[in-house]
Structure 1
Amino acid sequence: MGFRETVACAGGVVRLGVDAGIALMSMAIAVPGAFAIGEATAMASAARGLSPAPATPPPESKTHDLGTIVTPR
């Protein structure tokens, strides 16, 4: 392996490391940002007096846990 090949391989490894670091930094920014936006939206709707949607369907509903309609046979 010549000197140029060694330098090219090292450059490729460095580029992959930089790309991985950028991906981790973007996730470190995106996840808290999405959480903050969700919390701000929830607080704004609570301040306007809007009630949140129910988490589960009413018991008399014919909706399955996954949200699909279940028809009796």
Structure 2
Amino acid sequence: FEGSSLRQVVSKICRGRYNPVPSCYSSELRLLITQLFKVNPRQRPSVSSVLKRPFLETLSKHLHPQERISH
């Protein structure tokens, strides 16, 4: 969110006004951001549904490899 003052930024957040996500990001990520920025919390996806998105599951496997626990 961008604005010339804190008040303007807060106003944009409350109204759900933001610049479009650049096209250099995947369509899946842009859609997710759009859904997360919904003004009405009931229209936002749940955390569990976000984490189940295939592109995030794939990314998660690369960023946080499972560690074996040895005793």
**Into which bin does the TM-score normalised by the smaller protein fall?**
under 0.3
Q: TM-score, normalised by structure 2?
A: 0.19
Q: TM-score, normalised by structure 1?
A: 0.19
